[in-house]
Amino acid sequence: MAATTISIEEDQFSCPVCLDVLREPVTIPCGHSYCLDCIEDYWNRPTQKGQYSCPQCRQLFSPRPALSRNTVLQEVVDKLQRTGLQAAAPQPAAKAEDVRCGVCTGRKARAVRSCAVCQESYCEAHLRAHEDRFHGKGHKLSSAVDQPRERLCPHHDKQLRVYCRSDQQCVCSQCAKERHKDHDTVPVADERAAQQKKLEESSLKSLQKLKEVEKELRYVVRYIKHSTEAAVEESERIFSKLIRSIEKHRCEVRELIRAQEKTAVSQAEELLEKIQREITVLRRSEAELEKLSHTEDHIHFLQKCKSLHFPSKSVELPSADLLPYFMYKTMRGALADLKGSLDEVCEREFNRISEKAISLKETSHSGTAKNKVRDTDIPPNSEPRTRAEFLHYYNDITLDSGTANPYLSLSDGRRGVTTRSEPQPYPENPDRFTNWAQVLGRAGIAGRCYWEVEWAGTGGVSIGVCYKGMNRNGGGSDSKLGHNSKSWSLDCCYSSCSFQHNKDSVVIAVPCGNRIGVYLDFRAGTLSFYNVSEAMVLLHKAKTTFSQPLYPGFWVGLGSTLKLCSFKGLN
């Protein structure tokens, strides 16, 4: 009798749970077979809730069926494995961020889809088994999600398809009809779209606000750097001037000591010459005496010896201790006192500067200040209104003679300037304006600053600011205040008034007064000019972005004078 040939597919002997060849196969009451460990793990899950179902047909068993090995099936599997049946290829393990397959035992594979009916997530292999079993009939698949059962209503075991806005929770359709009947409910997709739009708008607003803060902070950093640069430059200028003053006095003291030395040495040398002449006369007398001592004529000796002269008066020597006492006692003591006084002054002023810096730091942290208007008291984009408010930002400006054109004459402690018809005896300086009758302030400024200028005369004046790098040589526009990209100016005369910057001119309808107030807000990038009176009258306001510390600059026409107003008591 011929042997019977049976065709057996590989998946007939694969566990529907792990998709591997059956290991210790058991058959449950509905007739489906599984690995012993797979069905035990499946029934041990909390989702079974005391009712145990078949992973394939979903038939329920209660109580939990007792499991025993299917020895016949094990023998068949063993025999088939010996003849070449291979296990199904294992699935790649899920990563930490992946949704894990709810059916895999041991090492979990990455889930690709979830079934709303089965309430499980499946990897590719288990998804194929699911599709082969149900062919999509009533089993709606979705993107893989963790714990699909959480998407079910705990009261009715139905899909959460409705969102209750009144209670702010997801509910099923039956809950919407019963427990949330009079509530504001919408499909979850609509609520998701509304919430997503709201969150996107909030995200956009937050991003815009953060970008504005970022922009402001970047500007603050630049502002602090420019202010620091101006302060360092001013301190360097003052210390250089102090060093030059000390150097000058050092030279004067040295010349004084040398003059005293010259006088004392001259006196001693004159006395020395006199002594040397007397020594010469004495030696001649000694020679004559020696000659007479050898004569035997007593009468001749007595007659000749009367002409010999030997002075007996002692020579009064100058004091050898007077000059050393002056140099090493008086002078050294005076210089030591000077050094002590200078050290004391420097220490006192440095402590005063440090205390102001600490006070400013504490004020900036606490956000409070007493009896003084600060930059933070006025919003960045606004300006003071009254003259009293402007004067809180008064900056004590003096003129730099090193930049003054040779035809400018400075006066009033370098606060006044007049154009002369003859050049002044200024020393050579590469920072000096060679052609235009212009002069700059001594120090760069950054921050909020205010100063006032009085002017008079028929020649007119220009009042403005510029960068330090503005050209000083020649008669071109690159060195004329207000006529290049590095400077801004208000041109004043009795008949007209105009604002100048980078070859652009703005005619101002309001006549210029004889006292002009200049307000600079470096951080806000504004430069404003005012007619100073009880009510500050705005002449022009320029808006830009300053990239470097600014220097006050002035041009004075022939026949005109200009004076910087002083309010020292306000500093």
- The string of pLDDT tens digits covering residues 235-254 is 887 888 888 888 988 898 88
What is the spatial distance between Cα 9 and Cα 200, in angstroms, rounded to a whole number? 53
Burial class (CB in 10 A: 0-12, 13-18, 19+), 81: middle
**pLDDT score, position 485:** 94
**pLDDT score, position 368:** 44
The pTM assigned to this predicted structure is 0.49
What is the spatial distance between Cα 293 and Cα 194, in angstroms, rounded to a whole number? 144
pLDDT single digits (tens) 379-400: 555 678 899 999 999 988 999 9
User: Average pLDDT in the 530-553 region?
Assistant: 91
Residue 225 has pLDDT above 70, yes or no: yes
Mean pLDDT of the chain: 82
Peptide bond into 425 cis (omega under 30): no
**pLDDT score, position 479:** 95
Residue 439 has pLDDT above 80, yes or no: yes
- Cα dihedral sign, 398-401-405-407: positive
pLDDT single digits (tens) 282-314: 888 888 888 888 888 888 888 878 777 776 666
**pLDDT score, position 555:** 97
What percentage of residues in the chain have a pLDDT greater than 70?
82
Q: What is the CA radius of gyration of the chain?
A: 53
Give the Å distances, CA to CA, from 363 to 146, 213, 357, 366: 54, 21, 10, 5
Residue 8 has pLDDT above 60, yes or no: no
**pLDDT score, position 380:** 52
Q: How many CA atoms lie within 13 A of 78 on its CB side?
A: 8
**pLDDT score, position 106:** 65
**pLDDT score, position 370:** 40
In terms of pLDDT, which residue wins out, 229 or 3? 229
What is the spatial distance between Cα 489 and Cα 548, in angstroms, rounded to a whole number? 17
User: Average pLDDT in the 149-178 region?
Assistant: 82
**pLDDT score, position 403:** 95
Contact 433, 479 (CB under 8 A): yes
**pLDDT score, position 114:** 81
Which of these, 389, 393, 387, lies nearest to 534 by C-alpha position?
387
- Amino acid found at 215: K
What is the spatial distance between Cα 177 and Cα 298, in angstroms, rounded to a whole number? 171
Q: Which of 209-218, 419-428, 536-545 has the lowest mean pLDDT?
A: 209-218
What is the spatial distance between Cα 187 and Cα 172, in angstroms, rounded to a whole number? 10
Residue 3 has pLDDT above 80, yes or no: no
Give the Å distances, CA to CA, from 449 to 350, 397, 465, 521: 23, 10, 12, 7
